[in-house]
Amino acid sequence: MSIENVLDNKTKLLLLDLRTDFQIEFEQKEIDYCEVFTKNRQATVYYNPKLIDNESIAHELLHIKLKRYDYVIGNHIYFSCLNHLKLQKIFNKFLCDYIGNCLDHYKMYPEYVEMGYSPEGFLTNGLDEKCSLLDIKSLNLSFLKTYKAKSIELYIGYLISIYADHVDNNYNEHLKFLREKDSDLFDIVSRFWDKWKVFDIKNIDAIYNSDLELADSFISDLVEWIKQKKIK
Ligand SMILES: [Zn+2]
């Protein structure tokens, strides 16, 4: 049976609309989540027929929909940091993809809700806390004045996962500890996220509303932050 037949009307309509701009295919795969791979205007949604539900397909389709706006922040951060001696150790492909994903989630969640779906279906274990206090507490950014790239990567990932949470979990303690560990880094990531929250993805403009500039200002803050630090 084709996947289109198990989708509800809202998701079918979204799919129909997206197909005016994208070539979208569905492929079965042994995975315990859904995922989408988009290149140019071609997208493949991978799903497990045993675990399939409407919400997860809607979720992936909303990722495709955001491709219409052609912003490239996650990738831009990755390629910009590739030649930076210190930052390239932190901004690996995994972290940059993760950031890109979280940025997407923040912008697509309102439409997901508008389609009538529940917060718990937005992600696997959608209501859970997205980052544990214990993980934050046990994180040491530096040891004997040398910063650990892996710890900085985790720090940024934790903070972004908190900001991207679509559910109102209580993160007061988490944020307090993260700020105590490094208030400058905390402010840099927070500023980046705050800019993203108000960024108008539908009207990207090289001068007045640029996704690249948003990413670049994040990177230049980080370059400044890391300048005097020893990184391992
Ligand atoms: Zn997603």
Cβ-in-10-Å burial (0-12, 13-18, 19+) of 184 comes to exposed
Task: Give residue 127's pLDDT band: very low, low, confident or very high (50, 70, 90).
Answer: very high
pTM above 0.85, yes or no: yes
Q: Look up tokens 């996962």; give the residue.
A: 161
Does the structure show a pLDDT above 70 at 197? yes
Strands 35-39 and 23-28: unpaired
For the chain, give every domain's residue range: 3-68, 71-231
Q: How many angstroms is it from 102 CA to the middle of ligand 1? A: 7
Per-residue pLDDT, averaged over 218-229, amounts to 98
Cβ-in-10-Å burial (0-12, 13-18, 19+) of 20 comes to exposed
Per-residue pLDDT, averaged over 65-80, amounts to 96
Does the structure show a pLDDT above 70 at 1? no
Average pLDDT, the chain: 95
| Dihedral (CA of 119, 123, 128, 133) sign | negative
Per-residue pLDDT, averaged over 121-142, amounts to 95
Does the structure show a pLDDT above 90 at 113? yes
Q: How many angstroms is it from 59 CA to the middle of ligand 1? A: 6
Looking at the chain, list the stretches that DSSP marks H as alpha helix, in order from N- to C-terminal side: 9-18, 54-66, 73-81, 87-90, 93-114, 133-137, 149-164, 172-181, 183-198, 211-226
Q: How many angstroms is it from 63 CA to the middle of ligand 1? A: 7
> Contact at 8 Å (CB) between 46 and 29?
yes
Q: How many angstroms is it from 148 CA to the middle of ligand 1? A: 28
Q: Look up tokens 């901004």; give the residue.
A: 91
Does the structure show a pLDDT above 70 at 45? yes
